[in-house]
Amino acid sequence: MDKKEQSNINRSFHSEFLLLEFSEVRELQILQFFGFLLYYLATVIGNLLIISAVASDHRLHTPMYFFLMNLAMQDLGQVSVIIPKSMANSLMNTRHISYSGCVAQVFFLMFFASSDFSLLTVMAYDRYIAICNPLQYEMLMNKQACIQMIASVWITGFLYGVLNAGGTFAPPFCSNVVNQFFCEIPQLLKLVCSDVNQIEIGALVLGIVLVFCCFIFIIITYVHIFTSVLRIPSTKGRQKAFSTCLPHLTVVSILLTTGFFTYLKPTSNSPSHLDLAFSMIYSMVPPLINPIIYSMRNKEIKNALSKLLGSGALFFK
């Protein structure tokens, strides 16, 4: 290969990437487009309903639902980063994504995913204060404190996104073929020409420290929460306390198990169906099921949705 050909390849690596196709059959590409379209509409509508219900019902203007509304906004952002581009590629029968578009996907995915988990940690603290220290709840979880917590969540996510995007795209790439339907860090690191051990270790250490600290905090708070709940004399009181905690624990469990598998398992140069499956689960399932979990297990959300949607919302009653 002469220098001119090598130069053209290098320029192509810096101008675009080729994402994984779900299928080369045109009919299956169209089917994938409509499948993702239905998923995207369901996710957007579900999270918008949560946001609208919290914003429109003054009874839900409390810290718990303020955090839930922010979680819905983060979920909307996360699916909007990867799904529309994948749908567009399937519809237009292409695999291309620009270099800047790939950088943006990595940044925003890490931004929303990390802020999502940070927010789940804040929500655990909110439930801890509400159940274990209810007399001081209004003082500790006042409006200023909630705004400061949310600001910290978004700022932390932004910094984490910048660090991951900068570290991933700093070294040169020897290929532009990404074995994933979106720009995912583990798959991008396989394309780096130089030794990526330091990059991988740095990214892993940063992510592990953040997730481990949040995870330990959540575990400790829920040990105290369940200890306090079991001391509640009335069965109805225990059920109400559990109904506000179990959805949160379910969401945390799904996010942790799928994310750990995707980012902590050994990398392989060959594409894997498990890589695709778990990446789809951690990036697509939580934003879809979060509104379902919180609306099905929460009476206040059901009532707000019923009021918002009118008499046709008998399903929520």
pLDDT digits (tens, 9 = 90+) for 91-142: 888 889 999 999 999 999 999 988 988 898 898 899 889 888 888 888 999 9
Q: How far is Cα 51 from Cα 45, in angstroms, rounded to an integer? A: 10
Contact 201, 191 (CB under 8 A): no
What are the structural domains of the chain?
16-309 (1.20.1070.10)
Q: Which of 13, 73, 75 is nearest to 285 (CA)?
A: 75
Contact 281, 263 (CB under 8 A): no
Q: What is the pLDDT of residues 244-303, one digit of tens each?
A: 677 667 777 777 776 666 656 555 555 566 667 777 777 888 888 888 877 666 777 877
The pTM (predicted TM-score) of the whole model is: 0.82
Would the pLDDT of 73 be above 60?
Answer: yes
Q: Which two tokens stand for residue 93?
A: 């029968």
Q: Which residues pair with 18 in a beta bridge?
A: 96, 177
Contact 69, 50 (CB under 8 A): yes
Calculate ∠ Cα 303-122-211, nearest 5°.
Answer: 125
